[in-house]
Structure 1
Amino acid sequence: MSIVDEPGWKTIKIKGTHQENVSEAIAAEFPLTLMLDGHEFATIVCSPGQLEDLVVGFLASEGVIRTAAEIKEIQVDVYTGFSHIALHKPVQPDQFDHSSRMIGSCCGKSRQFYFKSDARVAKTITSELEVTVDQCMQLMKRLMNSSPEFERTGGVHNAALATPTDLLFTRTDIGRHNALDKVFGAMLQGNIPARGKLVVFSGRVSSEVLLKISKMGIGIILSKSAVTDLAVKLADELGITVIGFLRGDRMNIYTRPDRVLGIDPYLQRD
């Protein structure tokens, strides 16, 4: 199933005084309900691609699993919109302080649930990885050039696992949280260690995004977009380097600038 709705939507496009009928490519939106050990756990509104990565990453982000090996079986049925997951150690609904939820594609979940879940699995990062200013700019350029879906629709987010010199793989979704969960799921399923890796991201870095990065064990996140105050406070506490507004030859380093080579030492003083 494509993450771009085909063949497109009949649209009236206006530019200045010119008007025309066009077939416009738009991003597909898909509800996926997770059935965990026979119980309805959540419905995620997402893009219909790399769904197994999304399910695994989402469960890890929620603190349900720590490794992919904890999953006994996983089935994703795009025709019915259900994913059935069985764990080696089955869970009961009362193990998680929530009822079944709708997880929107953009805004994440209720802060009450988010903090209860994340308090168990967020961790301080001690990564010794370093990057140069030029490497940051080149990685963001590669991310933005790697998404034909964004070029066609303008309606998706991209996240990539990378080394300082190259993108290892990219995941795309209408939801920025979903894109990161897909990266997390791919790391877990592929047994890819976080050591020596960073994340390149198109979306805003909120506190929820920052905590996902912490759970992944990543020490550096590069974002094209803005950050929030709670995100940078958490990043400072958890030892994560946050770089935002990375566009062209511009970037803002908010936390842990010691991991970025080429910065004037005078600017790093408190």
Structure 2
Amino acid sequence: MEFIKTIPVIKWKNKKYEKNEEQTVEDKYAYLFIDYLPPRKFSVYPKNLEDFAIGYCLGEGLIKAKEDLKEIKISKTNILIKTHLNHTPEEDFEQDEIIQRKKGNCEHACVCRLLEYQGVNSDNAGGIRSQLKTITPNNSTLKINATQIIKDMRNLTKNAKIWEKTGGVHVAQLIYNNKTIIREDVSRHVAVDKVIGAAFKLGYDLTQSYTTYSGRMPADMIIKVIRVGIPIIISNAAPAHSGYEIAKKGNITMIGFVRENRFNLYSAPERVNLKK
């Protein structure tokens, strides 16, 4: 498998140890250049980078339709995206200023942003646009069966091939009309970006799709699915309270702690048929 390395390891158990070998995922830095915006830097598993780039732009609100994309070029892990919207750095300053004014900290924020832009913005968590000024509730009519949630998590685990070899990645899955896309990455955000981007390229209706992934559900992850219109998010991990609050406001169905025969349903329960 590509980008998998073997490294020496000492395994210790019950006061005994042995020398052995273990496989680890090879992560690399990817640089995302979007129009005239300062470059973004990500730690990624370097496959499906076009899917990631498109999913990131959608989740950050930088594009909304295929017509917004002008060109994508990839050279190793450098990704150049041109849109018809011609984004400029002023947008990031304006966005940050709006957020920081609410906190009464605008001057400090602008200075910090200027310092960031002297180098490359390291952006592994949720993106610069990690807050929403307004939240429009998701009115998708999509409904799924409770037993399907368990099946989907089993499928996610079964197809987490890189995770199985290394334990060093997150895995995300997008389901649309019984069609499934699975992607893995060292970042849970990038893994979700990749499935969103792949689904977008295939023309899937994201309002009739849902995603299952490994990792917590904080606000910035829920904001991502709100922006692209996905109504249901499922995880084997816990929600953060920030994620729960955004999910409630956005009418997103949030499901966590999925195990062999159980899960927790936190918000918008009407999308889950609990009897099937």
User: TM-score scaled to structure 2, two decimals?
Assistant: 0.84
- Please, which of 142, 155, 167 is the counterpart of residue 154 of structure 1? 167
Q: Do the aligned partners of residues 163 and 60 (structure 1) sit closer, same or farther apart at CA in structure 2, a change above 3 Å counting?
A: closer
Q: Deviations over 1:15-44 (max 9, x none)?
A: 334422222111221111122236532111
State the alpha-carbon separation in 1 of the partners of residues 87 and 141 from structure 2: 36
SS at match of 1:96: helix
Equivalent residue, structure 2, for 1:203: 215
How do residues 45-64 of structure 1 correspond to structure 2 at under 5 angstroms? 45-64=43-62
Instruction: Check if 1:119 corresponds to 2:129.
Output: no
Q: Deviations over 1:163-208 (max 9, x none)?
A: 47x4511111111111111112112222211143211111111111
Equivalent residue, structure 1, for 2:88: 92
Q: In angstroms, what is the RMSD of aligned CA positions?
A: 2.2
Instruction: Check if 1:256 corresponds to 2:245.
Output: no
Residue type of the alignment partner of 2:231:
G
Where structure 1 has 5 or more consecutive residues not aligned to the other structure, the ranges are 265-270
Q: How many residues align?
A: 252
Identity score, percent: 27
Q: Do the aligned partners of residues 206 and 89 (structure 1) sit closer, same or farther apart at CA in structure 2, a change above 3 Å counting?
A: closer
Residue type of the alignment partner of 1:157:
H
Equivalent residue, structure 1, for 2:109: none
SS at match of 1:205: coil
Structure with greater strand share of residues: 1
Equivalent residue, structure 2, for 1:183: 195
State the alpha-carbon separation in 2 of the partners of residues 221 and 141 from structure 1: 15
- Please, which of 28, 31, 41 is the counterpart of residue 30 of structure 1? 28
8 Å CA contact 2:73–2:80 kept in 1: the answer is: yes
Instruction: Check if 1:238 corresponds to 2:250.
Output: yes
Where structure 2 has 5 or more consecutive residues not aligned to the other structure, the ranges are 94-112
